[in-house]
Structure 1
């Protein structure tokens, strides 16, 4: 998928990609509220960076990295408009970025993992491991297999629990993988299985939330 086109509003999603819900994913907001996030934070595949912006508004120092220069420009402008000096953004390939060795105490992947090509997963997990400090925590919110119908031609690379465990566990110590939801404003023409809706009318799509850590 051409991610920069998606953020320019030139994809099939029209003006706003469905994963942009205007706030952090509820599963991740709950982690923040529970005190599970520590500075500095890496927002991996930040997009328009509502997660980064929400964290910065609460006093966290956070770096958002995304492949799309358009998304990074929008995130940077939003941080400036809101006066959030604790958030910085970088356009880079998350599967091979460097320059942050041992820096981050928390790494958060908010719906990035399933967007990567299969051959990019190993490099990505290695790259964020390299950027993580000893004792860092890693959270991944990712579509579970079956979130989309099997016959949909263009869809994310959904995962099984075993698949997620095998890829991430090669470099990180996994603490938990549990069922979760990704909330999305899916266009009506996208064929989906029946999904529950949240109180804002967004689809609650099947996902996993992984928690792992880098040994101290």
Structure 2
């Protein structure tokens, strides 16, 4: 894989056949992350839903299968094309997809009753977080629920040349709390199909694997709600 920082990542290359990975990127496990799937089953999301940084669209498709209307927004054209094909193959017309930069997302002011960010936040450059949160706040309806699943600090070794911009709970609360009322932040695993880390092939990560062999990285699940007093 070509060496680059997460902040300069070619996301289309990450999703393209013959790109950086042999097969799908490791964060695409072929279904929603378990903690997000649990939320969908519990009825936590109300239509319309914004799936921020939707990737291959597994969260959007699961939401549509559960009867929700959802818009997935993703930077990679390749990932959006994949998601649209999957929606058509599964007959899930409630799921639509838009290619674009979520940090400059517009045209849907006050539309979404729910927002889900499944492993996008840590993929953003730190200096893009403000623009991202402003875009999501603008798109969210009054009282909208907002869920973020993000890597916790320490999920990846410090010596990695390119790794996600992980957060601790304080950092996450401070960033999101400027725009939304934070209800809770709690530990939650993030599964990935990882055998070895780029540049560190002999490093054994101290995390358990699930029954399918997927590595369980430490993360946080945040739930927040749009506040009318938040920064617009």
Q: Which runs of 5+ in 1 are unaligned?
A: none
Q: Check conservation: 1:13, 1:187, Cα contact below 8 A.
A: no
Q: How many angstroms does 1:12 deviate by?
A: 3.5
Residue aligned with 1:145, SS:
coil
Distance 1:125 1:189, change over 3 A: closer
Q: Check conservation: 1:181, 1:207, Cα contact below 8 A.
A: yes
Question: How many residues are paired up?
Answer: 216
Residue aligned with 1:85, SS:
coil
Matched residue, 1:212: 224
Q: Check conservation: 2:147, 2:222, Cα contact below 8 A.
A: yes
Match of 1:173 among 170, 176, 181: 181
Once the two structures are superposed, the pairs formed by residues 48-127 of structure 1 within 5 Å of their partners are 48-127=56-135
Instruction: Give, in whole Å, the separation in 1 of the partners of 2:68 and 2:14.
Output: 28
Instruction: Give, in whole Å, the separation in 1 of the partners of 2:34 and 2:115.
Output: 17
Q: 1:24-64, CA deviations, whole angstroms, 9 ceiling, x for partnerless residues?
A: 00011111122211111110000000110111111110000
Residue aligned with 1:167, SS:
helix
Residue aligned with 2:88, SS:
helix
Q: How many angstroms does 1:15 deviate by?
A: 1.9
Instruction: Give, in whole Å, the separation in 2 of the partners of 1:11 and 1:141.
Output: 26
Residue aligned with 2:137, SS:
helix
Matched residue, 1:130: 138
Instruction: Give, in whole Å, the separation in 2 of the partners of 1:115 and 1:99.
Output: 23
Instruction: Give, in whole Å, the separation in 1 of the partners of 2:21 and 2:131.
Output: 28
Q: Check conservation: 1:18, 1:187, Cα contact below 8 A.
A: no
Q: Check conservation: 1:143, 1:182, Cα contact below 8 A.
A: yes
Q: How many angstroms does 1:93 deviate by?
A: 0.4
Q: How many angstroms does 1:189 deviate by?
A: 4.8
Q: How many angstroms does 1:194 deviate by?
A: 1.3
Once the two structures are overlaid, the 10-residue window that deviates more, 188-197 or 77-86, is 188-197
Matched residue, 2:45: 37
Asked if 1:145 is matched to 2:153, the reply is yes
Residue aligned with 1:196, SS:
coil
Q: How many angstroms does 1:156 deviate by?
A: 0.4
Q: Which runs of 5+ in 2 are unaligned?
A: 1-8
Alpha carbon RMSD of aligned pairs, Å?
Answer: 1.2
